Chains A and B, each alone.
Chain A
Amino acid sequence: MSLRPLHLLAAVVVALAPLLQALPPASANGALIAALSEQTRVPNLVSGVILHTRLYDTVAEVVVFTLASMGVVWMLSAERPQTSIQGLDDPAVLVLCRLGATVSALVAVELALRGHLSPGGGFAAGVSGGTALALLLIVRSRSGAAPPSAATARSVAADELVEKLAVLLFILLAFLSLEGLNLPEGSFGALESGGWIPILNALMAVKVTLGSWTMVQLFIRYRGLL
């Protein structure tokens, strides 16, 4: 079954069709920017849109991410974990992994706490934190024998509990925000400004960190490093 010419033609037509469309005239978005900054009152307008203007959408997004990490746990629960994991043993790689983990953990904190002032936000912070934890996991799995599965099951359970608490708190605060209950404004550009946005950012960072860590940890436990 090789690639049929008709399939190729269909792919080319679908992919390149937008080139034939005339572009709408470029609109000046000055009014939009001004309205958004008045409404959200944070410098990072993308954070403002995600966590204020389109908050309802973001709640569903967080729920989908939670379902994905629960799905990974559920789908792997019937499998048998690997008895031993082939780990890395090159000292240079181990040092670099530790260094990378430190740097991305620091970056995660910075992105989570100042996500409404500078580039960043909850999802980026969560991915960075998840990377840090995954790198540490790679360093720790060097010893060959896998940790006893009871200990792993306990740590995954505790991890899931914290993750779900973060999600529930996020949904609760999001609905408070949607109902119009707001924290005091604070001064524009300060760390504690923008209402619920910094708190929602931090919760989202915790949630995405733990979610991606759960997935990576289970992948490594059940399938090994390679």
Chain B
Amino acid sequence: MTAFRALELLVLLAVLAGLVALLRHRNLFLKVLAMDVTSTAVISLFVLIAARDGLITPILQGHSPVVDPGVAAAYADPIPQAVILTAIVIGFSVQALLLLATTLLAHRDPTLDVAELDLPEPSGPGAGP
């Protein structure tokens, strides 16, 4: 097993940990946090793939934009790194909104139990707060 495969296995285990936590927990708040674990693991998968072709940070040294293609082969791929930045920012935004929605929901049902939240609300006169 190469080093890349070993690291990939570790990253995928982190994805699995997030997924299992997402399925296992009944609390909505913990489910949101488990989704964050999964997304962080996917981000590290992208970083790992970017570093597969070369390990040097893709920041050029020196005072000329011209690079010798032989030297440039040792740089990491900048495209996956730039692509995953979008996912980081969107993930942050979604996380903030989801946590806020969960907090507001906690006013109505402090346990935040998914099974209970799924139950239909009792309707009719005199029902509910």
Contacts and interface: CB of A to CB of B under 8 A. Distances in A.
B84 to A, nearest CB: 10
Contacts of A123: 85, 88-89
B67 A37 contact: yes
Interface string B83-95: 1011011101110
B19 interface: yes
A61 B64 contact: no
Contacts of A53: 82
A28 B9 contact: no
A34 B67 contact: yes
A147 to B, nearest CB: 21
Given A31-B69, A79-B104, A46 B96 contact: no
A70 to B, nearest CB: 10
A50 interface: yes
B64 A34 contact: no
B100 interface: yes
Interface in A181-195: 187-189
Interface stretch (A14-22, A133-141, A149-157): A14-22
Contacts of A48: 78
**Interface range for A:** 35 or more
A119 B100 CA distance: 32
User: By DSSP majority rule, is chain A's interface helix, strand, loop, or mixed?
Assistant: helix
Contact of B12 (A18, A54, A187): A18
Given A118-B59, A188-B64, A3 B115 contact: no
B65 A15 contact: no
Given A19-B9, A29-B73, A38-B65, A12 B60 contact: no
A226 interface: no
Contacts of A92: none
B17 to A, nearest CB: 9
23 contacts: A2-B24, A11-B20, A15-B13, A16-B12, A19-B9, A28-B53, A28-B69, A29-B54, A29-B73, A29-B75, A30-B67, A33-B67, A34-B66, A37-B65, A38-B65, A43-B61, A46-B82, A54-B83, A64-B90, A68-B94, A119-B59, A188-B65, A189-B63
Pairs of residues from A and B, 5 with the lowest C-beta to C-beta distance, nearest first: A68-B93, A30-B69, A15-B16, A33-B72, A49-B82
Interface of A: 1-3, 7-8, 11-12, 14-16, 18-19, 23, 26-34, 36-38, 41, 43-46, 48-50, 53-54, 57-58, 61, 64-65, 67-69, 71-72, 75-76, 79, 117-119, 123, 187-189, 215, 219, 223
Given A33-B69, A46-B85, A117-B59, 8 more contacts: A12-B16, A19-B12, A33-B73, A33-B75, A44-B58, A49-B79, A65-B89, A69-B93
